[in-house]
Amino acid sequence: MVNVLDNNAELNLSHSKILIVDDQPINIQLIYNILSSDYSILAATNGDQAIEVCQNDPPDLVLLDVVMPNMSGIETCVILKQRLSTAEIPIIFITSCDEQDEENDCWESGGVDFISKPINPITLKNRVKAHLSLKYQRDILNSLVYKDDLTTIFNRRYFDEHIVKVEKSANREKVDAAVILIDIDHFKQFNKIYGHIRGDITLKEVADSIQDALMRPSDFVAYMGCALFAVVLPNTTPQGAIEVAIRIRRAVFACKIAHPDSKYKFITVSLGVSTVFLAQDKMVPLLEDAEQYLQQAKEVGRNICKYPKLG
């Protein structure tokens, strides 16, 4: 069990990644010189680039210049806070202005702190360390609350809380989203043959192969209990979701975990895919829908994906 209140937390901060966002390369260089001996540094010279980096390679902290051409730091922060995959990244503003209005904008847009220019290296180092420590401790708490002990992937509680956000955001922004339900076939029999300890190891192996089949940082898989897994794919077309489901089915089969009582002779999974279509005006309960397709997959012989007809 990890000790959340461990005073040695700073030992782990050296793995932290910090994104510096400033339209002036000389300012990036200045901050880089102060922090690069303690942390890994990423850099972006405008808001669009910063958002792209946060989505594809999420940093532990962003140092964001307020005044930038095209998209300001405040606008960039608002977008990062709106998106599910980037909302939790702490943002410290770097500001050259000492007006109260700008300070208020920094807080209101979702920043956790701000540092005034000219930068005092000691202040920068201490603020960064303080916010990384907070994030580190929050990550540990989240992992205790939201991770499944056996499989180490997300648990049912995480799924329940996040599916609501994904469904709402898909309907509000009129983007696609999908859920894939995955059930291990004839697992009762597998436990009977090999025992529960081997069964547990197999659950972990299946969880790992599903996780490895997911390519985007915003995708996630949760263990729902009873050999059932749920994958959530925000911002994914129905066609894309079906491709992921097929990839998962193949990945699990490719593990070649012997199962003498299966007609395929190896552990297989059945999958049900449910999708929210772009611009659809009614809310589709993704989980219930996926459950029906999973049932169909079980009925037609297992080791298969079932999904809605594409229009």
Ligand X SMILES: Nc1nc2c(ncn2[C@@H]2O[C@H](COP(=O)(O)OP(=O)(O)OP(=O)(O)O)[C@@H](O)[C@H]2O)c(=O)[nH]1
CA distances from 187 to 89, 148, 262 (A): 39, 19, 10
200 binds ligand X (CB under 6 A): yes
Instruction: Please give the DSSP secondary-structure letter assigned to residue 83.
Output: S
DSSP, collapsed to helix, strand or coil, labels residue 140 as helix
Give min distance, CB of 186 to ligand X, in A: 5
Instruction: Pick one of 42, 50, 203, 241: the residue that binds ligand X (CB under 6 A).
Output: 203
Instruction: Pick one of 187, 229, 293, 307: the residue that binds ligand X (CB under 6 A).
Output: 187
74 binds ligand X (CB under 6 A): no
Separation of first and last alpha carbons in the chain: 49
Structure tokens at 12: 């782990």
Residue closer to ligand X by CB (options 127, 186) is: 186
Instruction: Pick one of 31, 74, 77, 227: the residue that binds ligand X (CB under 6 A).
Output: 227
Tokens 């300070």, residue located = 103
Instruction: Pick one of 24, 29, 189, 280: the residue that binds ligand X (CB under 6 A).
Output: 189
Residue type, 142: N
Q: For ligand X, what does the binding mask look like between residues 263 and 282, x meaning CB under 6 A?
A: --------------------
Give min distance, CB of 185 to ligand X, in A: 4
Instruction: Please give the DSSP secondary-structure letter assigned to residue 174.
Output: T
Give min distance, CB of 193 to ligand X, in A: 11
Q: 221 and 214 in contact (C-beta within 8 Å)?
A: yes
Region of 52-60, 139-147, 189-197, 230-238 interacting with ligand X (CB under 6 A): 189-197
Instruction: Pick one of 42, 184, 233, 305: the residue that binds ligand X (CB under 6 A).
Output: 184
Total number of residues binding ligand X (CB under 6 A)?
17
Give min distance, CB of 297 to ligand X, in A: 10
Residue closer to ligand X by CB (options 84, 150) is: 150
107 CA to centre of own chain: 25
199: phi then psi, degrees, rounded to nearest 5:
-60, -45
Region of 83-91, 163-171, 187-195, 239-247 interacting with ligand X (CB under 6 A): 187-195
Instruction: Pick one of 9, 78, 79, 150: the residue that binds ligand X (CB under 6 A).
Output: 150
Q: 177 and 219 in contact (C-beta within 8 Å)?
A: no
Instruction: Pick one of 226, 282, 309, 311: the residue that binds ligand X (CB under 6 A).
Output: 226
Whole-angstrom distance, CA of residue 68 vs CA of residue 74: 9
Residue closer to ligand X by CB (options 30, 271) is: 271
Residue closer to ligand X by CB (options 124, 227) is: 227
Q: 88 and 112 in contact (C-beta within 8 Å)?
A: no
199 binds ligand X (CB under 6 A): yes
Instruction: Please give the DSSP secondary-structure letter assigned to residue 71.
Output: S
What residues form DSSP beta bridges with 19? Answer: 42, 62
165 binds ligand X (CB under 6 A): no
The dihedral through the CA atoms of 262, 264, 268, 272 has a sign that is negative
Task: Spell out the residues 6+ positions from residue 262 whose beta carbon is closer than 8 angstroms to its own.
Answer: 185, 186, 268
259 binds ligand X (CB under 6 A): no
Residue ranges in contact with ligand X by CB under 6 A: 150, 183-189, 191, 196, 199-200, 203, 226-227, 298, 302
